[in-house]
């Protein structure tokens, strides 16, 4: 059995990071989301007078920001191939970059699509928007309605790259983790 690369993705505020943290606390190797750190840095360097959902308004070069994000996620992917564990979990995958670019109406070229085509994951679990747990904060700037639209963009992008995202039920974190692990055993 080869090394499995499993993405846990979803719109902001869906609980995906709590799931990934829970998996990590159980001993699974997890690659954490890098966008929060990048967004915080961009905000520190840019203008933060307006509450805007698109972190790209805080950077001078939005395309370069997305390239850096793409490269960071690709680096995680490549690192997963080097470590001696049967499963690596990723808090977001490479196609997330394109899904967000689509959501914000940004153009991209083959540089972006080739990363998605050449770095394939084994399974994609998507955590749906859940109004009851949604909270926005300094790094999570989207409204719940925007989160719902991002969810649709993520589904569309992953499907376009030949994935069949598995929706994680709305439940507490231990049950969501249990769902993911049981599903993986049956794949």
- Run means of pLDDT, 10 residues per run, the chain, 187 residues: 87 91 97 71 49 50 87 95 95 96 92 96 96 69 85 97 97 97 94
The CATH fold of domain 4-186: Rossmann fold (3.40.50)
Closest CA to 123 of 179, 83, 79: 179
Give the sheet arrangement for strand 123-127, strand by strand: 29-31, 87-91, 4-10, 123-127, 166-167
Count of beta carbons in the 10 Å neighbourhood of residue 136: 16
Question: CA torsion sign, 34 to 40 to 44 to 48?
Answer: positive
Beta carbons of 148 and 11 less than 8 angstroms apart: yes
Domain map of the chain by residue range?
Answer: 4-186
Tokens found for residue 169: 């039920």
Q: pLDDT by residue (tens digit) across 130-173?
A: 888 877 665 556 788 888 999 999 999 999 999 999 999 999 99
């Amino acid at each position: 059995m080869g090394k499995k690369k499993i993405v846990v993705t979803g719109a902001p505020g869906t609980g995906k990071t709590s799931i990934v943290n829970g998996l990590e606390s159980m001993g699974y190797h997890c690659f954490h989301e890098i966008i929060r750190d990048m967004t915080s840095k961009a905000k520190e360097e840019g203008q933060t007078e307006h509450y805007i959902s698109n972190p790209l308004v805080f950077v001078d070069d939005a395309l370069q920001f997305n390239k850096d994000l793409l490269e960071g996620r690709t680096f995680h992917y490549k690192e997963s191939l080097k470590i001696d564990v049967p499963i690596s979990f990723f808090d977001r995958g490479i196609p997330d970059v394109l899904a967000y670019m689509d959501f914000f109406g940004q153009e991209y070229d083959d540089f972006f699509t080739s990363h998605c085509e050449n770095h394939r994951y084994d399974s994609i679990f998507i955590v749906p928007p859940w109004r009851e747990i949604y909270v926005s904060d300094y790094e999570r700037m989207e409204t719940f309605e925007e989160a719902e639209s991002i969810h649709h963009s993520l589904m569309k992008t992953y499907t376009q790259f030949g994935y069949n995202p598995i929706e994680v039920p709305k439940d507490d974190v231990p049950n969501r983790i249990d769902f993911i692990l049981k599903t993986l055993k049956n794949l």
